[in-house]
Amino acid sequence: MATYCYITDSGDQGTVECALGCAPRRIKIDGVLARRDYAAEAKGFPPTKGWPIECIGSGVNAEDAGELRKHLADRGVPTEITPDGNPIYRDPAHRRKALKARGLIDKASFV
């Protein structure tokens, strides 16, 4: 099952779960015709589920937390760092930028 997004002319949004590739182009949301919202689907659904995250895997020692904070800010990716030295990523795009700024690659992810 996949989740498909729909939007009405007035901006009301809704989702439908159906078999992959079998989504209708139009549905009714509260009696109003809605068209499929491909842009919303391209962004992912839901776009902020589970964010922000504290990443232990890309953390540093507690005494190096300030250095990491400065390093990321100098490269244009200001990031909150916990006192333990773990970065807190706001969203997937922020995570990608921060990992790239440090020269890190997550092969098991979308980075």
Report the DSSP beta bridge partners of residue 6: 14, 36
Percent of the chain with pLDDT over 90: 52
Same domain, 98 and 59: yes
**SS3 assignment, position 88:** strand
Same domain, 61 and 93: yes
Same domain, 93 and 62: yes
Q: What range does the domain containing 36 cover?
A: 2-43
CB 5 within 8 A of CB 37: yes
List, for residues 32-84, the tens digit of each pLDDT value: 999 998 888 877 545 556 789 999 999 999 999 999 999 999 999 999 999 99
Read off the pTM: 0.56
